[in-house]
Amino acid sequence: MKYISIIDMEINNLKSIVGAINHFGFKTIITNNQKTILNGSAIILPGVGSFPAGMKKLKKKKLDFVIKKFYKAKKPILAICLGFQLLFTSSTEFKNTKGLNILKGKVQSLKNLKTDQIIPNVGWNELNYKKNKKNILFKNFKTRPAVYFVHSFFVNPESKQIETSTINFGKKKLVSSIQFQNLFGVQFHPEKSGKNGLNIIKNFLEQI
């Protein structure tokens, strides 16, 4: 039976993600074992906490190399919230910390935007998503989906081509999801976003 490797960084509450994936009939394994991850059909890279702590956990188990190897094998990866941020070059959270650098871009504080919005950004927000057949996560969506966010930092990718959705944050637009080859990343929590979130996860799982 195919299984999805959910990377265990020991800083996550993963019950919601497991429940969402199991809902569609897929087996899940929460693991930081390199062989188990590489033998899976897909990776979920979740994350709650700080960027430096997340990278420290990945490097401790050498999972940074495993994720890159999995990516080069062209198998699907879905990165959520902090996991999404870790895909990029670096972050200024607490200190300048290097990320996985699979995608070029920097993670910066929402405070840098100098808006009147409350920080952290917690709650529901409607996505401005690109309406085209290549935008896999939002296939079959007919209206702007509302999804759930919890974050104090945002990603600023170097390439606008990988962006698949944004949100309005005051008078600014923030990148809320990306797609590049077999790599999918979302700043929001699909596992906590009701039916819309389940449909996004379903669209990802269909890539397996």
B/e letters for 122-145, b = 16+ CB within 10 Å, e = fewer, are eeebebebeeeeebebbeebeeeb
- 77, 70 contact by CB (below 8 A): yes
Whether the pLDDT of residue 164 is over 90: the answer is yes
- 184, 170 contact by CB (below 8 A): no
CATH number of residue 137's parent domain:
3.40.50.880
pTM (predicted TM-score): 0.96
Question: For tokens 């902090």, what's the residue?
Answer: 82
Q: How many domains, in total, are found in the chain?
A: 1
DSSP type of residue 182: T
- The catalytic residue among 93, 151, 189, 206 is 189
* 158 catalytic residue (yes or no): no
* pLDDT at residue 124 in the model: 98
List, in order, residues 6 or more apart from 180 with CB less than 8 Å away.
103, 162
Question: For tokens 């994350």, what's the residue?
Answer: 47
Q: Find the range with the poorest average confidence among 12-16, 51-55, 180-184.
A: 12-16
What's the whole-number mean pLDDT along residues 56-62?
94
Burial status of residue 47 (CB atoms within 10 A of its CB: 0-12, 13-18, 19 or more): buried
* pLDDT at residue 47 in the model: 82
Among residues of the chain, what percentage have pLDDT more than 70?
99
* pLDDT at residue 138 in the model: 97
Range of the domain at 89: 3-205
* 191 catalytic residue (yes or no): yes
Whether the pLDDT of residue 101 is over 70: the answer is yes
Q: How many CB atoms are closer than 10 A to CB 99?
A: 22
What's the whole-number mean pLDDT along residues 160-172?
95
Angular region, 49: left φ>0, alpha ψ -120 to 50, beta rest: left
- The catalytic residue among 81, 93, 151, 163 is 81
* pLDDT at residue 2 in the model: 85
What is d(CA 40, CA 37) in angstroms, rounded to the nearest whole number?
Answer: 5
Q: 104-133 pLDDT, tens per residue?
A: 999 999 999 999 999 999 999 999 999 988
- 148, 123 contact by CB (below 8 A): yes
Q: 128-148 pLDDT, tens per residue?
A: 999 988 999 999 998 999 999
- The catalytic residue among 93, 151, 163, 191 is 191
DSSP type of residue 89: S
Whether the pLDDT of residue 1 is over 70: the answer is no
Q: 5-39 pLDDT, tens per residue?
A: 999 987 667 889 999 999 999 999 999 999 999 99
